[in-house]
Amino acid sequence: MGGLDGLDKESFDPEYFMMLLLCGNVMGIIVDLKDLVHGRYPQIICYPRFEYEELRRRIVELRSLNVEMLEFSGRSEVAGLPILGKGCVSLVLLAHLKCGRAALKVRRVDSGRESMNHEARMLHLANSVDVGPKIIDFTENFLLMQYINGFPLREWLEKSDPSADEVRMLLREILEKCWRLDAIGLDHGELSRASKHIIVDFSNRAQIIDFESSSTNRRVSNVTSICQYLFLRGEIADIIGKMNIKPGRKRLLAALKAYKRNPSRMMLEEIFRVCEVTV
């Protein structure tokens, strides 16, 4: 149990331990690829309908990605096993490679997508402007990328007790990353559900994830969508508002309108000023 090293009895705090466990900081159940045919693992690799042939093909793909082991840990649960996350098109697991751990996105067998190609292309493009977890490799059914160890935005805001300045810095980073996506014509597509799609790591850096619904053929609306979400309506806007970061509605709408007409760096700076994230 290497992950438990350093935890002595006196300093053992069950709540802290639980948090580490949920975040994947304590090692979960580690399974060699050859053992994925046993127990409940096939139900996860071929979620939600397991077929032997499909499982066999997928294990071959995992080998081609140089995945050595899978680790079952994280805050979601499928088939009674902990995993990093569960979405409409995929499950996300922790994978062990020779060089360390990575997040492995596993295409659900019932997903509308034929392969991971589109998402891999979109993530690769986002990476070109330093946005999104770094892509490592992909196959038809898997996407291997940098593991972002942290909390979803809402939990970070509620549980990590950040100072107003830390929140401002984070909001600025999110806006900055959305601007970079706008600038290359890549529309994320799911920033109106940003809580699930922004992870804040333990250095308080924000990362945008899930480029599955992204497109280069739509009009980009990353900055405008995220501003609505962060400042104008919904639970996150309420939480941020309570921290006294509450841009005037009229001024922000006017700044967003001007940005939409002319999505330039200058207009973005005006949004920074209105949102008071110029720190």
Site for ligand ADP, rule CB under 6 A: 84-85, 87-90, 92, 103, 105, 133, 145-148, 196, 199, 209-210, 212
Tell me if the bond preceding 14 is cis, omega within 30° of 0: no
Selected from 173, 182, 187, 210, the binder of Mg ion by CB under 5 A is: 210
Q: How many residues comprise the chain?
A: 279
Which residue, 13 or 235, is less far from Mg ion as judged by CB? Answer: 235
Give, as ranges, the residues between 127 and 186 that touch Mg ion (CB under 5 A): none
Instruction: Assess contact for 215 and 189: CB atoms under 8 A.
Output: yes
Taking the complex as a whole, the smallest distance from the CB of residue 26 to Mg ion amounts, in Å, to 25
What is the phi-psi region of residue 132: left when phi exceeds 0, alpha when psi lies from -120 to 50, beta otherwise? left
User: Going by DSSP bridges, is the β-strand pair 90-97/85-86 parallel, antiparallel, or unpaired?
Assistant: antiparallel
Which residue, 73 or 275, is less far from ligand ADP as judged by CB? Answer: 73
Taking the complex as a whole, the smallest distance from the CB of residue 68 to ligand ADP amounts, in Å, to 18
278 three-state secondary structure: coil
Taking the complex as a whole, the smallest distance from the CB of residue 154 to ligand ADP amounts, in Å, to 11
Instruction: Choose among ligand ADP, Mg ion, none what residue 182 binds, the Cβ cut-off being 5 to 8 Å by kind.
Output: none
Taking the complex as a whole, the smallest distance from the CB of residue 16 to ligand ADP amounts, in Å, to 20
Which residue, 81 or 268, is less far from ligand ADP as judged by CB? Answer: 81
* 235/168 Cα distance (integer angstroms): 17
Residues 6 or more apart from 198 whose CB is under 8 A from it? Answer: 152, 153, 174, 206, 207, 208, 209
Q: Which residues bind Mg ion (CB under 5 A)?
A: 87, 210
